Amino acid sequence: MCASDDMMIEFPLCPRCRRYEGLIAPVKDRLFSQLFQGLSSSSPQHPLRILEVGFGTGPNLGYYSRIGPQQIEVGGIIFPF
């Protein structure tokens, strides 16, 4: 997925990546829940800024929406192979 101006766009994942994301989802659920615990009370005047290194196709973007109603700015860095 890709976030742009209040919009999420999903990029297709290869079959192996989809399988991996399905298997790792419980671990990511727990990790992101712990990371974002308590952040929903942040001021809506100051957006939460996230920089994801190794952004790829953006499979983690769905987890950022769980933070809460505050504004979130996500930037990503993709490394060429």
**Segment 8-63, tens digit of pLDDT:** 555 667 788 888 888 999 999 999 888 877 665 555 677 788 899 988 888 888 88
Which two three-digit tokens encode residue 2? 């890709």
Residue 4 has a pLDDT of 47
- Give 76's strand partners: 52
State the chain's maximal CA–CA distance in angstroms: 40
Residue 1 has a pLDDT of 43
Residue in the structure block whose two tokens are 């499979």:
59
Residue 2 has a pLDDT of 44
